[in-house]
């Protein structure tokens, strides 16, 4: 299913571009680890459903219970296996998925002749690059406010096509509006002179929206590097909710996978003489997809309405564990 969905996505994305067969297969394989990481929660849910289906179909569950083995001990084994699989996914599959996505983006950029991302985030601030009026500009800012379109502690470095120094401008406050940089109290440094101004206006092709859209998506950042990126964005005054949500989702992925495995126990039936098992599996798969989509929507609604991203991620997980545990205890008493 992953290969088929990925193949259709590539064909749709590059429908007007010729792709050699070798490159086509490379694009497909590069994205597989990322897709596995994204749907690992669904994988754990469906795998647990089929495990329960198998042990009930061949009366293995009845035999185990008749031998005095508690139900919770039987279910604890696949749940712990799911937890360990989640740890493997965030430690191994996640970095592989990021590496594959980077390779995928590089090939896509070459095929579509799209410009590379011209914005970089580091511990020293935010850097972005611009080509304008036969010169190249490298701009550094310590903080950026998307609401007021303001930047603080800005350094602009101007070089020519051969990377030869033209001038440098330092300004404590810059406003980017209507495709112009409005600099307050700038200091212009050239090879021979240094001049200070009260105000200075510099035309540009950039806009605040284009800069914000240039930020790398959280899916392209490794789980291990996300805390550093989040701290840098916080210091720069930028919104980090999406980055925090993605980080906590990856951090608690093993627990989320175990929670979905527990939730799948809602479809455990001890009735072996009817044909309701197939319907329960189908209903379980449909409910799994619905629950996954609802969980993604709910945690974003909670986070964007003021709840801390940590709690927004943990609340659906705790709810699934509570419901699944209640069903297991009910079955154990039955």
Burial of 122 (0-12, 13-18, 19+ CB in 10 A): exposed
pLDDT in tens, 161-174: 888 888 999 999 99
What does the alpha-carbon distance between residue 263 and residue 288 come to, in Å, rounded to a whole number?
9
- Map out the domains of the chain as residue ranges: 2-113+223-333, 119-213
Structure confidence at residue 213 as a pLDDT band (50, 70, 90): confident
Given a cut of 80, whether residue 36 has pLDDT beyond it is yes
pLDDT in tens, 186-201: 999 998 888 998 999 9
Lowest average pLDDT, out of 2-11, 89-98, 133-142, goes to 2-11
Structure confidence at residue 26 as a pLDDT band (50, 70, 90): confident
* Residue range 142-160: mean pLDDT, rounded: 87
pLDDT of residue 168: 93
Within the chain, strands assigned E span 119-122, 125-132, 135-145, 150-159, 165-177, 180-184, 187-189, 194-196, 199-203
The angle subtended at Cα 61 by Cα 57 and Cα 62, nearest 5°, is 100
Structure confidence at residue 51 as a pLDDT band (50, 70, 90): confident
Task: Retrieve residue 174's tokens.
Answer: 């810059």
CA–CA distances in Å: residue 162 to residues 136, 138, 237 = 10, 14, 34
* Residue range 84-93: mean pLDDT, rounded: 92
Given a cut of 80, whether residue 59 has pLDDT beyond it is no
In sequence order, what are the residues at sequence separation of 6 or more whose Cβ sits closer than 8 angstroms to the Cβ of residue 8? none
* Residue range 66-94: mean pLDDT, rounded: 87
Choose the most confident range, by mean pLDDT, from 39-53, 216-230, 248-262, 272-286. Answer: 248-262
Structure confidence at residue 114 as a pLDDT band (50, 70, 90): low
Given a cut of 60, whether residue 133 has pLDDT beyond it is yes
pLDDT of residue 319: 87
pLDDT of residue 89: 93
Given a cut of 60, whether residue 179 has pLDDT beyond it is yes
Task: Retrieve residue 74's tokens.
Answer: 């039987």
What does the alpha-carbon distance between residue 190 and residue 168 come to, in Å, rounded to a whole number?
6
Task: Retrieve residue 110's tokens.
Answer: 């070459």
* 267 and 88 Cβ atoms separated by less than 8 Å: no
Given a cut of 70, whether residue 116 has pLDDT beyond it is no
Cβ count near 49 (within 10 Å): 25
What does the alpha-carbon distance between residue 233 and residue 247 come to, in Å, rounded to a whole number?
14
Given a cut of 70, whether residue 334 has pLDDT beyond it is no
pLDDT of residue 84: 94
* Averaged confidence pLDDT in the chain: 83
């Amino acid at each position: 299913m992953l290969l088929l969905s990925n193949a259709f996505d590539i064909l749709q994305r590059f429908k007007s571009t010729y792709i050699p067969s070798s490159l086509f297969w490379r694009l497909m394989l590069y994205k597989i680890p990322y897709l596995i990481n994204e749907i690992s929660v669904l994988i754990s849910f469906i795998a647990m459903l089929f495990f329960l289906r198998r042990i009930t179909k061949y009366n293995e569950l009845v035999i185990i219970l008749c031998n005095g083995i508690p139900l919770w001990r039987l279910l604890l084994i696949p749940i712990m296996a799911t937890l360990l699989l989640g740890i493997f996914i965030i430690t191994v599959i996640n970095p592989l998925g990021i590496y594959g996505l980077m390779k995928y983006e590089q090939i896509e950029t070459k095929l579509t002749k799209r410009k590379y991302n011209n914005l970089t985030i580091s511990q020293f601030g935010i850097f972005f690059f611009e080509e304008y009026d036969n010169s190249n500009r490298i701009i550094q800012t310590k903080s950026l406010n998307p609401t007021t379109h303001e930047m603080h502690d800005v350094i602009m470095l101007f070089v020519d096509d051969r990377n030869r120094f033209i001038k440098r401008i330092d300004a404590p406050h810059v406003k980017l509006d209507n495709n112009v940089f409005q600099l307050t109290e700038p200091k212009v440094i050239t090879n021979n002179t240094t001049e200070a101004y009260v105000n200075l206006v510099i035309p540009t092709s950039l806009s605040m929206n284009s800069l914000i859209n240039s930020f790398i998506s959280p899916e392209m950042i490794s789980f291990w590097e996300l805390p550093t990126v989040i701290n840098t964005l916080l210091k720069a005054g930028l919104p980090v909710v999406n980055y925090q949500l993605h980080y906590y989702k990856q951090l608690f992925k093993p627990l989320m996978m175990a929670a979905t495995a527990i939730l799948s126990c809602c479809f455990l039936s001890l009735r072996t003489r009817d044909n309701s098992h197939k319907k329960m599996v189908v209903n379980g798969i449909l409910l799994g997809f619905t629950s996954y989509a609802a969980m993604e929507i709910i945690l974003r609604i909670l986070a964007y309405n003021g709840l801390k991203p940590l709690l927004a991620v943990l609340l659906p997980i705790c709810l699934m564990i509570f419901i699944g545990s209640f069903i297991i205890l009910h079955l154990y008493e039955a």
